[in-house]
Copies of this chain bind each other. A is one copy, B any other.
Amino acid sequence: MPMELDKFDRGILAILQRDARRSAELIGTAIGLSASAVQRRIARLREEGVIAAEVAIVDSRAIGRPLTLIVDVEVERERSELLVSLKQWIAAEPAIQEAWYVTGEGDYVLIVTARDVDGYDALMRKLIAENANVRRFQTRVALGTLKRGQLVPVEPTSE
């Protein structure tokens, strides 16, 4: 169920999605509201779950994980009990940053971060070894990152 968001909420979200540290007073002057009104709305957006989290974005290159890989995984759909443990495996593996179950024949798409090719190889060998229902996978290496984030458009104009 889509939440009721007026233009003030949208303005707040637009700012906080780019900079969660911006003070309520600055946000207020930007959108035309008092600091306390902004503060109240932020608290409400958190409670309602519209703001799901506030997190630090770490530069993966800066800490020695310059590789990003996009992996298409094909899974045997028949064995549903193995699917549960595969999902848990994915959830528990920190090198897998994102994972979707997508349209196709038991297909998953993974976004993986790695230190180097060897690190990635080791990860995928472990994936295969510990999940019998993984049929095959195809890897694409990110040669360049044009854009990264989970910034959601909040303007009603954008489609």
Contact = CB atoms under 8 A, between A and B. Distances in A.
Identical chains in the assembly:
2
Interface in A51-84: 51-60, 62-65, 68, 70
A125 to B, nearest CB: 11
A5 interface: yes
- Main DSSP-derived SS at the A contact region: mixed
Counting chain B CB atoms within 10 Å of each CB, the highest count among A56, A59, A147, A153 belongs to A56
Interface of A: 2-3, 5, 13, 16-21, 48-60, 62-65, 68, 70, 87, 90-91, 94-104, 107-109, 111, 113-115, 119, 122-123, 140-155, 157-159
Given A48-B62, A95-B159, A99-B147, 19 more contacts: A2-B62, A3-B62, A20-B20, A21-B54, A49-B62, A52-B59, A53-B57, A54-B56, A65-B153, A96-B147, A97-B147, A97-B149, A98-B147, A103-B143, A107-B140, A109-B142, A119-B159, A123-B159, A149-B150
